[in-house]
Structure 1
Amino acid sequence: MDAPAPQAIHLDAYRKPDYRIESLALAFDLEPEATRVKSRLQIAYDGSPSDLSEAALPPLWLDGDDLKLLSVCVDGTPLDETEYRQDATGLSLDVTSPGFLLEIETEINPKANTRLEGLYISSGTFCTQCEAEGFRRITFFPDRPDVMTVYEVTLRADKALYPVLLSNGNLVESGDLPDGRHWTRWEDPFPKPSYLFAVVAGDLACVEDSFTTASGREVALRIFVEHGNEGRCAYGMDSLKRSMRWDEERFGLEYDLDLFNIVAVSDFNMGAMENKSLNVFNSKCVLADPDTATDADYASIEGIVAHEYFHNWTGNRVTCRDWFQLSLKEGLTVFRDQEFSADMRSAAVKRIQDVRSLRARQFPEDGGPTAHPVRPASYIEINNFYTATVYDKGAEVIRMMQGLLGREGFRKGMDLYFERHDGQAVTCDDFAAAMSDATGVDLNQFKLWYSQAGTPGVTVTGEYDAAARSFELTLSQTIPDTPGQSGKRPMHIPLDFALLDPDGQPMPLKLACEEAAPTSRVLELRAARQTFRFENLDHEPAVSINRGFSAPVNLSIEHTPATRAVLMGRDGDSFNRWETGQQYATGLLLEAVEAGGEGRQTPEALIDALRETLLDEAQDPAFRALALTLPGEAFLADQMKTVDVDAIHIAREKMRGDIARALRDELLETYRGMQSNAPFEPTADAAGKRALKNLALGYLTASGKAEMWDLAVVQSRNSDNMTDRMAALALLTDRQGPERDDCLQAFYQRYRDEPLVVDKWLALEAMSVLPGTLERVKGLLKHEAFTLTNPNKVRALIGVFAAGNPLRFHQADGSGYQFLADRIVELDRINPQTAARLIAPLGRWSRFDGARQALMRQALETILSAENLSPDVYELTSKSLT
C-alpha cells in the first residue's frame, strides 16, 4: 500500500508552545558511528495560572528524528517505556508539575548522516546544520524557532583526532581526560532557538585576528579550515572585519560576545549558516586566492560573510516566531548585505547585478507552479521555502520600505524594532509595525507584498501637452493569478521617478496645487490606475521610472528612438541607462526569434549605442561590461509565451556576431587596454577592468576570426588568475576542436587536487552548448572528481546542466529531462534537500511546446512514482505537476 501523502502545515494554525525551556545543558561524547548526547532541560509551563486549576497540564511534545533513545528521566527518576510515547517523529510524555527537570540520553550515527542535517561528518570533521529542523536529529527537543533558551554545551572527544572542539558562545572551561580524550565547555548567554545551535570538532588549522568594537571591547576572530588552506582566509577575514565596522556605522549594531568563529567545511547543503558566534560555511564561500578564485568568488565571499555576520542581530538576537516568517530574518539580512556590498563596491553595478539575479531566479519562480508569497500560507517541507522569493523578493520588500520611509526613517524603524524585540521571536507584522510607529507612515496596504504572490505588472503611458506645458503620466498595475491565489488587491508600489529633458537633465516635477518642484520623487501607485499631472515643462520629457529598480515589477513602457537615446546615453540613473539598453536589445532579439532565429541585421542604432558605451571612459569598466552584455537566453525565454530554445540561441548568437564584426577594432583595443601587468588584486576597480576585458574577448571570439580564438587559448594557459583563465575556458568549451579538449584537460590536471576548482571544471563541461554535452555529463558521473554525496559536486554538474544550459537540457527528445528525473530519484535517497532543489527546471513545463510539455510531465511523474519519496521532493514534484 502506498504511503500517505505528507500533510501541509498552515500559518493560520499557529499556536504558541505550552512550555518554555528555561535552560538547556548538552553533553556530547563524540564518536563517528555512535555519538551519545545527554540533555538536561529545565522546563516550565507557559500558560496562565488559571489553566492549572481548570484542567490537567497538557502533554509535552519533543521532536525527534532518526534517534536511538537510551533513557528518559524526570526530576532524577528514570521513566520506563509505559510512561512516554515515542514514534518516528518524536516523543510525548504526560506532565504532572508546572516545573521540572527532564534528562534524555540519545545515540546517533553522524557518519551515516548523508542528509547533512543535524550532526554529521565532513572530511573527518564533526559539524552540525540545524536550520531549519536539524536539531531534532541530535536530541529530543521542541524544535521550533519560538522556543528560545540559554545553552551550556560540553564536548568530549579523542584529542588526537579532534583537537578542536567548538560550540556557540564563549569557551569557559577545557581540560584533558585520562583516556586520551579531552573536553571543552561553552556557554552562550543569549537565548536562542535550536536552529542556531552548532558544534564543530576536528583537526583544523586556525587563522586568528581581532576586532575592537565601537565601545572598545576586543573581539577574537578565528577562521578554522583544513590544514593547507590557511593562506586562503585573508579575504574572508577582511570581509568580516569590514562587516563588523559597517554594521556599527550604518545601524549602530555592535557585536555582543568576546569570540566570533567561522568554520569552513566541504560538505554543506547551503552557502553558510549563521549559528550564534559559530558560523559554519561551505568552503567555497570563505576560501580564496588569485589562483583558485574568480572575481565573482571574491564578491560572493564578501557578501556571504557579511550576510552571516549581520544575522547576529537580524535573525539571532531577534528571530522569527515560526518558519512562515522566514523572510523576517532572510529578506532583511539580504537587504543589509546588498547595502554593504554596494558601499564596498560600485553601488550602480551592485544594483544591476542584484536585479539580474532577481530576474533570473525569483521572477520565474513567481510565474511558475511553485509560486508563493514572501510569507507563505502553508508548506509541507520547510526546506523547500529557502527560495529566491523569501530571500531576494523579501529583500526587495525591505528596500521598498526604505524607499517609502527614507533612509533616516528606516533607521528609526530599525532602532525601534530592536528596542522592542531584542531576545524575542517575532513576525513580519511586528517588523512593519516598528517601521510604521517610528515614522507615522501607514504600511497596511504595503504589507500585501508579504501575502500576495506573483510579480506585478506596471504599464506606463504619458501624454505631453505643448500648449499647456504639462505632462500626464498614467500608471496601471495588474497582479497575475498564481497557484491558490486569484482576484488580488492592488499593491502599494513605490516608483522612483524623474522626467529628463533632451540633454538628460532632470526637469522640475511640479504637481498641480504644489509650490515645490523637486527633480525626482517617489510615485506611490496604490490603485489599479492612477494619473499624475506635471506642470511648467518646456519640453516633451523622457520618462525615467523605477529608477534604481525601486520596485520588483515588470514594467511596460514604450520609448521613441529619441527618448531611448536620452535614457541610454544620458540618464543620471545608471540602472535605467542599463535597463533601457536591455529592453531595446530584448525587443530586437524577440523579433528575431519570431523569425526563426535569423532575423534581420542588427540595427546600427544599437551598435552605435554599444560603441559609445564601450568607449566611454568616464563610466566604470564594470558598468560598461554589464551594459554591453546581451540579455541571456533564460531571460529571453521568460519573455515568451511559448519558449523556442533553439531560435533563442540562434538569434542571440547572430546578434553577438553582428556586434563583434562591427566593433572589432574597438573591442580589440579595449581588450588590450584593459590588460595589466600588476599583481592580482580583488578590488572592485581591478575586477571591473577584468570584466570589460573578458567581455571584449567574448565578442572577439564571436566574430568568426580564427586568430581571436588564439587569444582565448593563450589566455587560458598563461593567465596569472582564475578570473581570466575561467573566462577564456568558458568560451573554449563551446568551440569544437582539439584546443578545447587540450585546454580543459590541462586545467583539470593542474587543479585535480583542488576540490573547489574541480567544481568549476565540472560546471564548464555542463554548460557547453556543443552537441554531445549530455553524454559527457553522464560520463562525468563516474569520474573520480564527482560524487553524489557532495552537494557542491551535484550543483556544479547536474544543477548547472539542468538550470544553466537551456539549449542542451531542453533537447527535443527529452533525454535531458529523463536524466534529471533519474538523478533526483537517486539523490533523494541520499540527500533530499539537494534533490529537491534540482526540480525547478522541470516545473516550467507549461511554457514549452506540446511535445516538450509531455516529456517534462513524464519526467515529473517518474519522480513522483518513486518509492519512499521524501517530503522535500514530493512537495515540489506534486506542485510542479499542477
Structure 2
Amino acid sequence: MKDAQPHTVYLKDYRAPDYLVDTVHLHFELQPKATLVRSQLKIRRNPEAGEGLPPLQLDGVELELLSVSIDGELVPASRYRELPDGLSLPVAAPEFVLEIHNRINPEDNTSLEGLYLSNDMYCTQCEAEGFRKITYYPDRPDVMSRFTTTIVAPRQYPVLLSNGNEIARGTTEDGRQFVTWEDPFAKPSYLFALVAGDLQHVEDSYTTASGRQVKLQIFTEAKNIGKCDHAMRSLKKAMRWDEEVYGREYDLDIFMVVAVDHFNMGAMENKGLNIFNSACVLASPETATDSAFQRIESIVAHEYFHNWSGNRVTCRDWFQLSLKEGFTVFRDAEFSADMNSRAVKRIEDVSLLRTTQFAEDAGPMAHPVRPDSYMEISNFYTLTVYEKGAEVVRMIHTLLGGAGFRKGSDLYFERHDGRAVTCEDFIKAMEDANGVDLGQFRRWYSQAGTPVLEVTDAYDSASGNYALTIKQTCPATPGQEKKLPFHIPLAFGLLGADGRDLPLDAAGTTQMVLQITEAEQTFSFSGLTERPLPSLLRGFSAPVKVRYGYSTEQLLFLMRCDSDEFNRWDASQRLALMALEQLQRDYREGNKLQLQAELVEAYRSVLQNRDLDPALVAEMLSLPSEQTLAEQGEQIDAEAIIVARRFAREALAEALHDDLLACYRRLHTEKPYSPDAADIAERSLKNACLAYLCATGRADTLLLAQEQFRDAANMTDSAAALAGLVNHGDEAVAQSALDSFYQRWQQDTQVIELWFGLQSSSAKWGKLDKVRALMQHPAFELKNPNKVRAVIGGFANRNFTQFHCSDGSGFAFVAEQVVVLDKLNPQIAARLVIPLTRWKKYLGELGLQMKQALQSIMDTGKLSADLYEVVSKSLV
C-alpha cells in the first residue's frame, strides 16, 4: 500500500533520465510465492542529462532484494540504499553492467500489477508502473531497451511466452523447462510481458503487403478454445486496414494474444504479446452479444494499432499518455466505422463522451488531455485522455483532410520511430507535413473543460445574406479559472424548405468546416433565396456543446431531412431532452404529466421509415439516459429525472404499441446468426422494440419476451429477452428465467458476468438487498475486476434509480465496498468511487449523503495513492 498522502508529480519538473539501459536480460524461475528474478542491465550515462556520475536511482516496490553486482563484482549492502520505492546505487563509471537478484510473490499480488497469478496462469501488467513490482529498474517510458527474457517453470506450465521471437528452448538439469525470447525492438519497461500456463491456442497466418509471413496465435484455457475465431478474424482485418489506411506493416515474425480472466483493463499492447481481459477477446454466438462482438473487434484492432502508435513510437512521460491512447482510439474508431455503420459508431462514441467525459470535465477530477500534474498516474487512464484525446486527433484530421492527415502521420512515424516523444512532436509532424500553423490548436492539450458555442443567426431577405454568429466560452475547471479561445472546427450545412442542402458558395459546396478561433465570430453567406435552417456540428466535428434555439418544428424537420445521419439522431435526442425537461418541471410543480404529442409522432415516423438503417432507427428511438439528463443542468434532481424518464418510456411504449409490435414481428425471423453489420442492425432494432413493448407491462408483450428467451439461438436475443423480463416482468417469472439462464451458463465466466450485470443495473430488480445477495453468490469473486465491475459497478454506474435511493443507502454501500477493495486492488477502488464525486451538483439531501459517503472513505485512515487522490480532490 502506498503512502496515504502521495507527492504530486508535475509536468514542468520533467528531467531526462540520468542513465540509459541499452539491453536487458531477464531470467525468471517461476514459483507461486517465491519467483526468483535475475536482471542484467547494460547501463550508460545519458549524454543529454548533464555532467558527472550521479547515483543510479531505480524504481522498485514490494520486492525482496537478494543481491546486487556491478561488472561481475558483488556490491556490499553498505554501498547501496534500499528505499521504500526503489534502490539508490553509487556509480563509478559511465558504462557498466548491473545485475540484480530479487524475489516476488505472484500469488499474493491482488493489485494485478507486475507479475501475478490468474487461475493458475502467470501473467503481467506493467503499464503504467507495474514493472517496478517485478524487479528494480528505471521504470519510466523514456528509457527504451532491447529485452531478452528466459522463463524457467515446472512442466505444469507448458506454455511460456514473452515479447519478441523465440530463440531457444530446452530442459534444465532438474527437469524444468525453459524458453528464451528476444525482442529486437527497443521498448520501455511498461511494454514488457510474460505469460506462463497450461494453455491451448488457435493459429493462423497473415501475409503482409511486402510478402512476409506472420504467425498469429491466440492462447486461452482449454474450455474457451472454441471462442477465439472472431478475435482472429478481427486481427487479420485490422492488419490489412492498417496497411491500407496508414501504410503500417507488422514487424515481428509472430503476433500473440492471451486471454486472462483477472485483468484491470480491457487489454494491453505489449510488443508482440498482447494480454487481453477474457471479456474482450472470447466470443461465440451462443455466449456473446452483438455489442460484445463489436467491442472485441474494436479492442483487438486498438491493441494491434498500438504496435506503431504506442510501441514503435511511444510517449516520453506519462503526461503524454494521450499521444498514444488518443491517437489509437481515433484509429480504432475509424476502423470500426469502416467495418460497420459509420453513423451508429459515431453516435455510440459521442453518447459516451457526452454522458461520461463531459461529466469528467465538469467534476473535481477535470484535467486537460495532457494533464499538468498527478498524484497517481493510474487515475489518468480516463475518458479525457482516451476519448477526448481521440476527438482532438479527429479535429486535426478534419482540419487537414484525410490526405493531409496521412502525410502528417507518415512523417510522425518516420521522424520518431524507436523514440519516446511528446504531444508537441505529433502536432509538429502534422504542421511540417502540411505547411500549417496549429499553434492555437495546441490549447486542446493544455486547457480542461468542455467549450460551449452559443450560436445565433440572421437572414436578410432583401439581399439574400445569411449571417451565423458564434461565441465560444469554456467553464472554469480546477486550477484553470480563465480559458483562452480554442481552435474549433465546426462542420455545418444549411437546409432549405424542401429539406435539401443549400449551396454555401459559388462552387455549390453544401458542407463546410468553419474554423472558430476567436471568442466571437460571424460568418456570412450570400445568394440565398430563402431563410435556411442550420445543421450545426455535423458528425460531431468537435467535443463541444452547441446552443442554438431550435424549435420543436425545426428539430422534427432535421430528424426527417438532414443529410447528416449523426445530426438526424442528434435532433431526435434534442427533441427528447426538451420533452423530458418539461416532464421534470411538471413533476416538481405538481402538474399532471403528459408526453408531448410531437415526440410520439416523431418516433412513429422514424419507426415506420423502412429506408433508414435499422441500427440508426434503434438509436433514434432510444431516450437519453438518466446519466445524460443529469448532465444537462447546473444541478441534478435525481427523483425528477427518474420519474420523468420512466413516464416517457412507458407513455411511448403505449402510444406506439402497434407500430413497435409490427416492427418486432417483421424482424423476428429465424436465420443463422452472423455478426455482420446488417444482421446486427436488424437485431438492435428488433430488441429495442421488445424493450419498449416490455415497458408496457402487458401480459401479451411480456409473453413475447418469454418466448424469445426460450427459443433464442444466440446470446443477443437471449440477453435482450431476459432483460425485458427482469426490468418489467413478474418477479417469479423473472427469477425463473434468471435461474434457468444461470443453470445453463454457470461454467462460462463471461456469460455469468453478463448475468450479474443485468441484475445489478436493473432499476426494478437491482435493489440494494439483491445486489448484496449477488456478492454472496458462489460465482462472485471480489478479487476479479470483471465481476466487481459487473455487480458493484453495474449498480453505481448504470442503476441510476437504486443508486440514488433517497435514504443514501446506495452511496454508503459503494463507499463500504470501495474501502474493502482498496486493500486488494487500488485501481479498481479508485474507479468505482467516481459516481460519488459529483455530489456538489445534487440537490438537497442526496448531495449531502454523497459527501458523507466520501468522507467516510477518507476517515478510514490510510488509503492507496489511487483512491486518496480522487477522494481528497472531490471533498475540496
Q: Does 1:664 align with 2:660?
A: no
Contact kept, 8 Å, 2:326 with 2:386, in 1: the verdict is yes
Cα displacement (A) at 1:609: 1.8
Q: Give the match for residue 118 of structure 1.
A: 114
Q: Give the match for residue 450 of structure 1.
A: 445
The correspondence for 2:329, drawn from 318, 330, 334, is 334
Q: Deviations over 1:613-645 (max 9, x none)?
A: 111111111001001111111101111322222
CA separation of 1:3/1:419 partners in 2, compared to 1, >3 Å: closer, same or farther? Answer: closer
Q: Give the match for residue 10 of structure 1.
A: 10
Distance in 2, Cα, partners of 1:772 & 1:743: 15
Letter in 1 for 2:579: L
**Which one has more relative contact order, counting CA pairs under 8 Å at least 6 apart?**
2
Cα displacement (A) at 1:329: 0.2
Q: Give the match for residue 539 of structure 1.
A: 530
Q: Deviations over 1:744-780 (max 9, x none)?
A: 1111111111111111111122112127710111122
Deviating more after overlay: 762-771 vs 8-17: 762-771
Q: Give the match for residue 599 of structure 2.
A: 606
Letter in 1 for 2:821: L
Letter in 2 for 1:576: N
Distance in 2, Cα, partners of 1:781 & 1:688: 35
Cα displacement (A) at 1:561: 4.2
For 2:538, what is the secondary structure of its paired residue? coil
Letter in 2 for 1:121: L
For 2:819, what is the secondary structure of its paired residue? helix
The correspondence for 1:88, drawn from 84, 87, 94, is 84
The correspondence for 1:438, drawn from 417, 425, 433, is 433
Distance in 1, Cα, partners of 2:309 & 2:875: 36
Cα displacement (A) at 1:606: 1.9
The correspondence for 2:548, drawn from 542, 557, 575, is 557
The correspondence for 1:675, drawn from 642, 665, 668, is 668
Q: Give the match for residue 135 of structure 1.
A: 131
Cα displacement (A) at 1:604: 2.6
Q: Give the match for residue 233 of structure 2.
A: 238
Letter in 2 for 1:261: M
Q: Give the match for residue 515 of structure 2.
A: 524
Distance in 2, Cα, partners of 1:327 & 1:73: 38
CA separation of 1:741/1:530 partners in 2, compared to 1, >3 Å: closer, same or farther? Answer: same
Cα displacement (A) at 1:847: 1.2
Q: Deviations over 1:650-675 (max 9, x none)?
A: 21122222222222221111001111
TM-score, length-normalised on structure 1? 0.97
For 1:162, what is the secondary structure of its paired residue? coil
For 1:32, what is the secondary structure of its paired residue? coil
Contact kept, 8 Å, 2:583 with 2:595, in 1: the verdict is no
Distance in 2, Cα, partners of 1:755 & 1:700: 30
CA separation of 1:517/1:172 partners in 2, compared to 1, >3 Å: closer, same or farther? Answer: same
Q: Give the match for residue 583 of structure 2.
A: 592
Q: Give the match for residue 698 of structure 2.
A: 705
Letter in 2 for 1:567: L
Q: Does 1:732 align with 2:725?
A: yes
Give the number of aligned pairs. 872
Distance in 2, Cα, partners of 1:234 & 1:250: 24
For 1:189, what is the secondary structure of its paired residue? coil
The correspondence for 1:196, drawn from 191, 195, 202, is 191
Q: Does 1:495 align with 2:490?
A: yes
Letter in 2 for 1:807: T
The correspondence for 1:747, drawn from 725, 741, 750, is 741
Contact kept, 8 Å, 1:476 with 1:530, in 2: the verdict is yes
For 1:548, what is the secondary structure of its paired residue? helix
Letter in 2 for 1:694: N
Deviating more after overlay: 433-442 vs 702-711: 702-711
The correspondence for 1:273, drawn from 235, 253, 268, is 268
Distance in 1, Cα, partners of 2:389 & 2:46: 32
Q: Does 1:856 align with 2:856?
A: no
Q: Deviations over 1:541-597 (max 9, x none)?
A: 110010000001111111234432331101110000000110011011011111117
For 2:688, what is the secondary structure of its paired residue? helix
For 2:540, what is the secondary structure of its paired residue? coil
Distance in 2, Cα, partners of 1:804 & 1:771: 13
Contact kept, 8 Å, 1:150 with 1:190, in 2: the verdict is yes
Q: Deviations over 1:510-553 (max 9, x none)?
A: 3xxxx545211100111111111110001111100100000011
Cα displacement (A) at 1:48: 5.9
Q: Does 1:285 align with 2:276?
A: no
Distance in 1, Cα, partners of 2:140 & 2:203: 34
Letter in 2 for 1:657: E
Q: Give the match for residue 149 of structure 1.
A: 145
Contact kept, 8 Å, 2:268 with 2:303, in 1: the verdict is yes
For 1:837, what is the secondary structure of its paired residue? helix
Pairing 1:494-513 to 2, within 5 Å after superposition: 494-510=489-505
Distance in 2, Cα, partners of 1:710 & 1:644: 35
Contact kept, 8 Å, 1:591 with 1:599, in 2: the verdict is no
For 1:191, what is the secondary structure of its paired residue? coil
Q: Give the match for residue 68 of structure 1.
A: 64
Q: Give the match for residue 324 of structure 1.
A: 319
For 1:446, what is the secondary structure of its paired residue? helix
For 1:447, what is the secondary structure of its paired residue? helix
Q: Give the match for residue 835 of structure 2.
A: 841
Contact kept, 8 Å, 2:614 with 2:685, in 1: the verdict is yes
Distance in 1, Cα, partners of 2:12 & 2:794: 37
Contact kept, 8 Å, 1:502 with 1:566, in 2: the verdict is no
For 1:710, what is the secondary structure of its paired residue? helix
Distance in 2, Cα, partners of 1:704 & 1:867: 48
The correspondence for 2:574, drawn from 569, 578, 583, is 583
Pairing 1:771-850 to 2, within 5 Å after superposition: 773-850=767-844
Q: Give the match for residue 106 of structure 1.
A: 102
For 1:264, what is the secondary structure of its paired residue? strand
Contact kept, 8 Å, 1:266 with 1:282, in 2: the verdict is yes
Cα displacement (A) at 1:47: 2.5
Distance in 1, Cα, partners of 2:11 & 2:415: 23
Q: Give the match for residue 476 of structure 1.
A: 471
Deviating more after overlay: 524-533 vs 331-340: 524-533
For 2:832, what is the secondary structure of its paired residue? coil
Distance in 2, Cα, partners of 1:133 & 1:198: 13
Cα displacement (A) at 1:602: 2.2
Distance in 2, Cα, partners of 1:36 & 1:781: 36
Q: Give the match for residue 619 of structure 2.
A: 626
Contact kept, 8 Å, 1:544 with 1:576, in 2: the verdict is yes
Contact kept, 8 Å, 2:25 with 2:148, in 1: the verdict is yes
Q: Give the match for residue 36 of structure 2.
A: 36
Percent of aligned pairs with the same amino acid: 53
For 1:291, what is the secondary structure of its paired residue? coil
Distance in 2, Cα, partners of 1:60 & 1:316: 26
Letter in 2 for 1:531: T
Contact kept, 8 Å, 2:326 with 2:388, in 1: the verdict is yes
Cα displacement (A) at 1:487: 1.0
Distance in 2, Cα, partners of 1:674 & 1:89: 60
Cα displacement (A) at 1:179: 2.1
Q: Deviations over 1:441-460 (max 9, x none)?
A: 21111110101111111111
Q: Give the match for residue 363 of structure 2.
A: 368
Cα displacement (A) at 1:4: 6.2
Letter in 2 for 1:545: L
Q: Deviations over 1:819-845 (max 9, x none)?
A: 111101101111111111101100000
Q: Does 1:692 align with 2:685?
A: yes
CA separation of 1:199/1:4 partners in 2, compared to 1, >3 Å: closer, same or farther? Answer: closer
Contact kept, 8 Å, 1:593 with 1:599, in 2: the verdict is no
Q: Return 5+ residue gaps in structure 1 as ranges.
A: none
Distance in 2, Cα, partners of 1:361 & 1:278: 31
Cα displacement (A) at 1:880: 1.1
Q: Return 5+ residue gaps in structure 2 as ranges.
A: none
Distance in 2, Cα, partners of 1:4 & 1:633: 35
Contact kept, 8 Å, 1:175 with 1:184, in 2: the verdict is yes
Q: Give the match for residue 875 of structure 1.
A: 869
Cα displacement (A) at 1:725: 1.2
